[in-house]
Amino acid sequence: MATRTQDLPPKGGYGPIPFKRIPPKTYFKGATIFAAYLGISAGAFYLYGLNYKQIEKEEIEMRSARNAILPLLRAERDREFLKQLRRNRDEEAKLMANVPGWEVGTWYGEPIYKTLPEDTLITPMFKEFYGHTTYKAAADRAHIKLWN
């Protein structure tokens, strides 16, 4: 059987334990860093000013274009709305053609809105407007604000 020996420190002992703080090497002094910060900030503000003028010009141009085309887009939207109302009335006439006493836009000949003149446009509710379409088309339109 082999003899066992105890693990002992080296002859003369271990070296000293380094515990003193070693400061990092300084590349710049405080005044140099402050001057560099001011120089970079001044350059950034100058470039920002140049870009801001260009961005302002583009925003004014886009706002003017939007204001110019908005009446046309609203007119097209209103025109399509009225065309869809006409399609809904035609579909109602087709569906209820075999029902005796049914008149389109009334409830068996009785006007729905008795206090309004006949030529008044009543905006239909959402489900009434999309009554003759598929569920998917109505659901897509109902949740269109969630797309953004």
Q: What is the pLDDT of residues 53-81, one digit of tens each?
A: 899 999 999 999 999 999 999 999 999 99
Range of the domain at 86: 34-110
Q: Are residues 92 and 44 in the same domain?
A: yes
> Structurally, how many domains does the chain consist of?
2
Q: Are residues 106 and 52 in the same domain?
A: yes
CA distance between the termini of the chain: 83
For the cut 80, the answer to whether the pLDDT of residue 2 exceeds it is: no
Cα–Cα distance between 39 and 108 in angstroms, integer? 82
DSSP state at residue 2 = P
User: Is 44 inside any structural domain?
Assistant: yes
Q: Are residues 95 and 141 in the same domain?
A: no
Confidence of residue 110 (pLDDT cuts 50, 70, 90): confident
DSSP helix, strand, coil percent of the chain (3-state; round to 5): 55, 5, 40
